[in-house]
């Protein structure tokens, strides 16, 4: 028996999807024209599945800063910061992020996934308790598995269920860490963070918020849901990524806790992974400056998100509970979802196809992520295409009105 036999069921599912042309999990971009348009199979396509919330991947100054760093300092660091040392720009980026969030300390990781993996496996250990929202991202679950804390799940965005589970642990020794996300990556819904923070205070737990999809999106300064909800003082650790609003790659954790720097030699995913190259750091720092100084970027993003959400909702499609830059349409079965996704792509609209078991409630999703760089024309065209395909596939009746007219 092959060592890969354990994946036979997954292989069967993957083979079935691979038979679809194009394969939803093997899309290749022939060319990237802008933050919102690309070429796929020779066809100019609206990009609505990139998580490029502020459109900064093609920002001229971010590119220029990256090019300068590349020329001056080379292509990579070729090792971890613990073994090979830090570049001055690593420290500068950490200081920038600490200042941005109003915190004392920051650690930068090579990916956002690694930030969750590293912090969760290190902060809580044997004898501690990790209390996770049931719909947490895979990186949070993997960080929990890598550590030795007892893992407890509470119902998604349910502060009462969180309270009940913490109350059962009231007299149990060990630290308790609650982990939630600012914006959840599948449906785009927001955590009820004020209520969760109140539970945290009453029960004496620690609170970590993953602001991966909410940094640069929510809050007066773009610091995320904790800022928007007015509970930053209750959040002990904020983790996030550079691969969404900041348009690059990498992750971070900021905190005020005393003795934070010991984590640099306690956190194995930080210690034993090569550090970010100077070019990435340079573009990330410039993107952070743009985020801080250009509030209209967030306003355009919010306007575009609302336009897409309301357009799809008024068509009669099943969207999530909140209008956020993540707008997902839930469908009844996988075959229909694949056909719908493929028809949209053939019509010139690219977005994400999310399938069970990676989705809430085990329903397939057509997941769109909006950018500040999208034009109203592109948003309206996306709504129009959703309507046309939904009617063609029998998801909506043929009497469905003009989506562009409804959202104008």
d(CA 196, CA 220): 21
Residue 53 lies in a domain: no
User: CA-to-CA distance for 252 and 114, rounded, in angstroms?
Assistant: 9
- Domain hosting residue 95, numbered range: 59-293
Residue 9 lies in a domain: no
Return the pLDDT at 405: 42
Over residues 235-263, the mean pLDDT reads: 98
Active site annotation includes 200: no
Instruction: Say if residue 397 is in the same domain as residue 337.
Output: yes
Q: Could you read off the pLDDT of 337-388 as tens digits, one per residue?
A: 999 999 999 999 999 999 988 898 889 999 999 999 999 999 999 999 999 9
pLDDT higher than 80, residue 408: no
Residue 11 covered by a domain: no
Whether pLDDT at 101 is above 90: yes
Among the listed residues 110, 121, 157, 185, the single catalytic one is 185
Neighbours of 41 (CB within 10 A): 13
User: Per-residue pLDDT tens for 22-65?
Assistant: 888 889 999 999 999 999 999 999 999 999 999 999 999 999 99
Q: What are phi and psi of 321, to 5 degrees?
A: -80, -20
Mean pLDDT, range 229-238, rounded to an integer: 98
Distance CA 116, CA 232 (A): 19
Which two structure tokens, joined as six digits, stand for 360? 């809430």
**What is residue 18's predicted lDDT score, i.e. its pLDDT?**
79
Judge whether 213 counts as a catalytic residue. Answer: yes
Range 8-20 average pLDDT = 85
Segment 112-125 shows an average pLDDT of 98
What CATH code is carried by the domain that includes residue 141?
3.40.640.10
Q: Residue 338 is encoded by which pair of tokens?
A: 């694949």
Across the chain, mean pLDDT equals 95
Q: Is residue 4 part of a domain?
A: no
70 with 154, same domain: the answer is yes
Residue 177 has pLDDT above 80, yes or no: yes
Q: Is 275 inside a domain boundary?
A: yes
Distance CA 319, CA 124 (A): 36
Q: Which two tokens stand for residue 334?
A: 């996988």
Tell me how many degrees the CA angle 257-183-146 measures, rounded to the nearest 5: 55
> Is the same domain home to 82 and 221?
yes
Give the model's pLDDT for residue 357.
87
Q: Identify the CATH number of the domain in which residue 40 sits.
A: 3.90.1150.10
Collapse the DSSP code of 265 into the 3-class scheme (helix H, G, I; strand E, B; otherwise coil) and give the result.
Answer: helix
Which pLDDT does position 1 carry in this prediction?
Answer: 83
Structural Rg of the chain based on CA atoms = 22
> Both 258 and 169 in a single domain?
yes
CA–CA dist 296, 50 (Å, integer): 20
Question: Is the same domain home to 379 and 258?
Answer: no
pLDDT digits (tens, 9 = 90+) for 156-171: 999 999 999 999 999 9
Q: Does residue 238 register a pLDDT over 80?
A: yes
- Residue bearing the bigger pLDDT, 152 or 21: 152
Among 129, 176, 200, 213, the one annotated catalytic: 213
Please give the average per-residue pLDDT across 277-305, as a whole number: 97
Residue 39 placed within a domain: yes
Cβ atoms of residues 274 and 250 within 8 Å: no
Tally of domains within the chain: 2
How much is the pLDDT for 400? 63
Structure-token pair, residue 335: 């075959």
Contact 224/218 with Cβ under 8 angstroms?
yes
User: Quick one: angle between helices 295-315 and 278-293, nearest 10?
Assistant: 80
pLDDT of amino acid 399: 77
Reply yes or no on whether 129 is catalytic. Answer: no
Please write down the HEC assignment for all residues of 354-380: ECCCCCHHHCCEEEEECCCCCCHHHHH
Q: What is the pLDDT of residues 61-93, one digit of tens each?
A: 999 999 999 999 999 999 999 999 999 999 999
Query: 285, 93 in Cβ contact below 8 A?
Result: yes
Output the DSSP codes for 220-251.
SSS--HHHHTT-GGG-SEEEEESSSTTSS--E
Quick one: average pLDDT of 177-191?
Answer: 97
Ramachandran quadrant class, 188 (left: phi over 0; alpha: psi -120 to 50; beta: rest):
left
Active-site entry in 244, 283, 328, 369: 244
Same domain, residue pair 65 and 188: yes
Residue 52 within any structural domain of the chain: no
pLDDT band at residue 268 using 50, 70 and 90 as cut-offs: very high
Using pLDDT thresholds of 50, 70 and 90, give the confidence band for residue 402. Answer: low
Cα-Cα-Cα-Cα dihedral of 107, 274, 224, 145, to 10°?
A: -90
Tokens of 379: 């948003």
Which whole number is the average pLDDT over 228-235? 98
43 and 80 co-located in one domain: no
Residue 5 lies in a domain: no
| Together in a domain, 104 and 227 | yes
Please give the full DSSP string across 307-336, using - where no structure is assigned: HHHHHHHHHT--B-SS-SSEEEEE-S-HHH
Instruction: Please check whether residues 27 and 161 belong to one and the same domain.
Output: no
- Distance CA(313)–CA(328), nearest Å, equals 10
Q: What is the mean pLDDT of residues 290-314?
A: 97
Indicate whether 13 pLDDT > 70.
yes
pLDDT computed for residue 75 by the predictor: 98
Q: CB 60: neighbour CB atoms within 10 A?
A: 8
């Amino acid at each position: 028996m092959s060592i890969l036999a354990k994946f036979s069921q997954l292989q069967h599912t993957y083979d079935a999807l691979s038979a679809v042309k194009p394969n939803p999990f093997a899309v290749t971009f022939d060319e990237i024209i802008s933050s919102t348009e690309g070429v796929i199979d020779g066809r100019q396509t609206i990009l609505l599945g990139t998580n490029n919330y502020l459109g900064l991947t093609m920002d001229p100054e971010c590119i220029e800063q990256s090019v300068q760093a590349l020329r001056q300092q080379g292509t990579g660091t070729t090792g971890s910061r613990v073994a090979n040392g830090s570049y001055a720009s690593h420290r500068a980026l950490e200081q920038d992020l600490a200042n941005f969030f109003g915190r004392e300390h920051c650690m930068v990781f090579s990916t956002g996934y690694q930030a969750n993996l590293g912090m969760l496996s290190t902060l809580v250990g044997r004898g501690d308790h990790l209390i996770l929202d049931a719909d947490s991202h895979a990186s949070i679950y993997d960080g929990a598995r890598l550590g030795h804390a007892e893992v407890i799940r509470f119902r998604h965005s349910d502060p009462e269920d969180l309270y009940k589970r913490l109350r059962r642990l009231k007299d149990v020794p060990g630290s308790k860490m609650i982990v939630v996300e600012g914006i959840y990556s599948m449906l785009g819904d927001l955590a009820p963070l004020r209520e969760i923070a109140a539970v945290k205070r009453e029960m004496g737990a620690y609170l970590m918020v993953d602001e991966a999809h909410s940094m640069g999106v929510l809050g007066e300064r773009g610091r995320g849901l904790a800022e928007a909800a007015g509970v930053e003082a209750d959040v002990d650790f904020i983790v996030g990524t550079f691969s969404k609003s900041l348009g690059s790659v990498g992750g971070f954790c900021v905190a005020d806790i005393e003795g934070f720097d010991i984590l640099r030699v306690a956190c194995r995913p930080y210690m034993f992974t090569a550090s970010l190259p100077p070019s990435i750091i340079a573009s990330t720092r410039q993107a952070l400056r743009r985020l801080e100084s250009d509030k209209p970027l967030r306003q355009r993003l919010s306007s575009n998100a609302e336009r897409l959400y309301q357009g799809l909702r008024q068509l009669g499609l099943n969207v999530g509970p909140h209008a956020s830059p993540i707008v997902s349409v839930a469908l009844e079965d996988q075959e229909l979802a694949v056909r719908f996704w493929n028809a949209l792509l053939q019509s010139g609209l690219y977005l994400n196809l999310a399938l069970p078991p990676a989705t809430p409630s085990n329903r397939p999703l057509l997941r769109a992520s909006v950018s500040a760089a999208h034009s109203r024309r592109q948003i309206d065209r996306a709504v129009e295409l959703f309507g046309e395909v939904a009617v063609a596939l029998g998801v909506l009746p043929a009497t469905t009105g003009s989506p562009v007219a409804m959202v104008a």
